[in-house]
Amino acid sequence: MAEKKLSRWDLQKMKDSRKKVVWITAYDYWTASFAEKAGMDMILVGDSLGMCVYGYDGTVPVTMDQCIYHSEAVRRGAAGTFVVGDMPFLSYQVSIEKAVENAGRFHKEAGVDAIKLEGGKRVCPQIRAISDGGMLVMGHIGLTPQSSGQLGGFKAQGRTAEAAKELIDDAKAIQEAGAFALLVEAVPPEVCGKIRDTLAIPVYSIGAGEQADGQLMISSDVAGVFQAFTPKFVKKYENLAEKTINAFSEYKDDVVNGRFPEDKHTYKMVEGELDKLNQLLK
C-alpha cells in the first residue's frame, strides 16, 4: 500500500523537485490493489476500459455509468492511492452544466480524487466550471482518443512546428482555466518537453517521451493482457495473456484426463453421515 495518499500539492512538489510520478490505469478491484501494492503514485480509471474490458474498438461507446462502476471498484482496491476518473465521450462536451454534474458524480458516487477530460481550448470553459465547483481537473491533449475520427485515427500529434505550437497554446489555456495537471499523449518528446517547461503545473506523458514530469501506461499493456494492437510507445513487462491461456488449457486438460479435482480439493461428509444417507435413499 502507498505510504500516504498523495495530494495535488505532493504532485506539484514532485514536479518542482524533478521527481518522476509513475501511474497506471486500472478498471477493477484486483488490478487497483496490485497497482497500489506496486507503489503507483496515481491510478487512472481510463475510458480505455472500453477496449481493455468491454472489447469495443474505441472509447466512444463508454458511458458515464460504466466509468462510475469501475471507479468504485478501483477505489475499493486502492483506498490509499490518488485516483483519477476519466470523463467519457459526451459526459462534458454537451454543456458546462452537464460537465460539472458528471464530474460531481465521479466524486460523490466513486470517491475519486480528480477527473480528467480530453481537449484543448474548446474544453476550457468546462475545466473552469468544474474547477470552480471545487474539483481537481486534469487536461489531456495530443492524441485524444474520443476525437480520433477528427484526428484521422489513433495517430501521433504535434509533429509539425505549427501543430506543436497549437498544442503549447492549448496547454497554456488549460493551465489558465484552472487544471491542476496535464496529460500529453502520443506527441514527440521535444514538444512534450517544451510544454513541461512552459507550464507550472505537472505535465505527464503517455507516449510523449521522458522529458515529462511522469509517465502513465495502460495496465493491460504493461501486463501483456491486451492483444488487439500494441501502440509504438508501449513496453510490455509481462505476457499475462499467454500465461492465462496456458493456465486455462492446463485446467481443461486436467479435468478431461481425470487429474482434477483431487481428493484435497473436495469436502468430506460428517463421519457416519454417508451410511445414513444411503439408508434414507433405500
Binder among 6, 35, 44, 78 for ligand KIV (CB under 6 A): 44
Site string for ligand KIV, 167-196 (x = CB under 6 A): ----------------x-x-----------
The least distance separating ligand KIV from the CB of residue 117, rounded to whole angstroms, comes to: 10
Exposure string for 78-108, b = 16+ CB within 10 A, e = fewer:
beebbbbbbbbbebbbeeeeebbebbebbbe
Note whether 206 binds ligand KIV by CB under 6 A: yes
For Cα atoms 45, 201, 128, give the angle at the middle one, nearest 5 degrees: 70
Residue 234, burial from CB neighbour count under 10 angstroms (0-12, 13-18, 19+):
middle
Binder among 218, 222, 223, 225 for ligand KIV (CB under 6 A): 218
Strand runs labelled E in the chain: 21-25, 42-45, 82-86, 114-118, 137-142, 181-185, 203-206, 214-217
Residue nearest to ligand KIV (CB): 46
Note whether 48 binds ligand KIV by CB under 6 A: yes
Query: Quick one: 33 or 144, whose CB is closer to ligand KIV?
Result: 144
Residues of this chain, 77-136, that bind ligand KIV according to CB under 6 A? 86
* CB 237 within 8 Å of CB 38: no
Look at residues 153, 183, 151, 146 and name the one whose alpha carbon lies nearest to residue 63. Answer: 146
C-alpha–C-alpha distance, residues 274 and 282, integer Å: 13
Q: Identify the helix (H) or strand (E) that includes residue 162.
A: helix 161-176
Window of 28-36, 39-47, 195-203, 266-274 that interacts with ligand KIV by CB under 6 A? 39-47
The least distance separating ligand KIV from the CB of residue 59, rounded to whole angstroms, comes to: 6
Phi, psi dihedral angles at 182 (to 5 degrees): -140, 140
The least distance separating ligand KIV from the CB of residue 217, rounded to whole angstroms, comes to: 9
Active site residues: 185
Note whether 138 binds ligand KIV by CB under 6 A: no
Query: Quick one: 152 or 280, whose CB is closer to ligand KIV?
Result: 152
Q: Which three cell numbers stand for residue 69?
A: 462502476
Binder among 2, 15, 40, 46 for ligand KIV (CB under 6 A): 46
Residues lying near ligand KIV in the complex (CB under 6 A) are found at 25, 44, 46-48, 86, 183, 185, 206, 216, 218
